[in-house]
């Protein structure tokens, strides 16, 4: 089932944490398919649930302190970016987590070690295992070490999720640099709690409308809608 048992000591070296109870680490690496194939009776889905909460809390606290000028809406967005499946599977890839996951034979044969959802779940379960073994401070320390500088992580993810840039790249080759226009339609609310509504127009047609607590955020929201209208 899923090949030989993982070398957990090698994984401990990769993550910089030594488990007092190695069974917790093994459980975090156990996919439900391994259990269905007759392996261990406990898989990692409950730990995944716990790890998700610990990740969210740790990153929310770190962002709160590191970005003192940002409002709660932006902080919520940044936290969401840092805990999305794409980011978690990337982190799992950086420590080679896929090689250590315990899979059933069928899942192994179907390339489960490279499956984004499996890597994401295993990373969240790993966080929970560290928490259960060493407490909140150990989990917090490991999370921040694995992420590295949060601003750098955010910049990488924001660049990858730049809807205005993607829209420009899509249309520029055929329509030119001036084909996209963002129009501020409405600005409401008190100064400390403004809400902006923006439309994006392409060659005389409105292709998207977005809202946000900053014009830039509203423009990005409108660009996402425009991309959907172009089926990107």
Q: Report how far residue 158's alpha carbon sits from residue 111's, in angstroms, rounded to the nearest whole number.
A: 29
Give the start-to-end residue ranges of the domains of the chain: 8-160, 163-229
Residue 231 pLDDT: 61
User: What letter does residue 220 receive in the DSSP assignment?
Assistant: H
Three-state DSSP at 183 gives strand
Three-state DSSP at 89 gives helix
**Fold match between 8-160 and 163-229?**
no
Which tens digit of pLDDT belongs to each residue from 1-42? 444 566 789 999 999 999 999 999 999 999 999 987 666 678
CA atoms within 13 A on the CB side of 12: 16
Residue 136 has pLDDT above 90, yes or no: yes
What b/e sequence results for 81-98 when a residue is b if at least 16 CB atoms lie within 10 Å of its CB, and e otherwise?
A: bbbeeebbbbbbeebebb
Catalytic residue numbers read 52, 124
CA distances from 23 to 160, 187, 202 (A): 37, 56, 57
∠ Cα 174 178 180 (to 5°): 85
Enclosing H/E stretch for 155: helix 150-160
The region that residue 203 occupies, defined by phi over 0 for left and psi between -120 and 50 for alpha, beta otherwise, is left
∠ Cα 161 162 168 (to 5°): 140
Q: Report how far residue 17's alpha carbon sits from residue 21's, in angstroms, rounded to the nearest whole number.
A: 12
Fold entry, domain 8-160: Ribonuclease iii, N-terminal Endonuclease Domain; Chain A (1.10.1520)
* Pairing verdict, β 180-188 and 205-212: unpaired
Residue 146 pLDDT: 96
Three-state DSSP at 126 gives helix
Work out the number of other CB atoms within 10 angstroms of the CB of residue 190.
6
153, 218, 85, 89 alpha-carbon torsion, rounded to 10°: -30
Which tens digit of pLDDT belongs to each residue from 59-110? 999 999 999 988 898 899 899 999 988 899 999 999 999 999 999 988 888 8
Q: Report how far residue 58's alpha carbon sits from residue 79's, in angstroms, rounded to the nearest whole number.
A: 10
Fold entry, domain 163-229: Double Stranded RNA Binding Domain (3.30.160)
Which tens digit of pLDDT belongs to each residue from 157-212? 776 677 888 888 888 888 887 889 999 999 987 776 678 999 999 988 999 998 88
């Amino acid at each position: 089932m899923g090949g030989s048992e993982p070398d957990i000591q090698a994984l401990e070296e990769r993550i910089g944490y030594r488990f007092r109870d190695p069974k917790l680490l093994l459980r975090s690496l156990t996919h439900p398919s391994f259990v269905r194939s007759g392996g261990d009776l406990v898989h990692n889905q409950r730990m995944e649930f716990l790890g998700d909460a610990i990740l969210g809390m740790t990153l929310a606290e770190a962002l709160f302190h590191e970005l003192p000028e940002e409002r709660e809406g932006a902080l919520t967005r940044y936290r969401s970016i840092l805990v999305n499946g794409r980011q978690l599977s990337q982190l799992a890839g950086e420590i080679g987590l896929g090689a250590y996951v315990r899979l059933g034979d069928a899942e192994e044969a179907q390339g489960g070690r490279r499956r984004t959802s499996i890597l994401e779940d295993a990373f969240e379960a790993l966080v929970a295992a560290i928490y259960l073994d060493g407490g909140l401070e150990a989990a917090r320390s490991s999370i921040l070490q694995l992420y590295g500088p949060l601003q750098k992580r955010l910049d990488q993810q924001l660049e990858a999720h730049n809807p205005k840039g993607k829209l420009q790249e899509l249309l520029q080759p055929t329509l030119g640099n001036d084909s996209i226009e963002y129009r501020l339609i409405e600005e409401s609310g008190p100064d400390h709690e403004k809400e902006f509504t923006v439309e994006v127009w392409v060659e005389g047609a409105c292709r998207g409308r977005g809202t946000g607590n900053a014009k830039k955020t509203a423009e990005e929201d409108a660009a996402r809608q425009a991309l959907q209208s172009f089926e990107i």
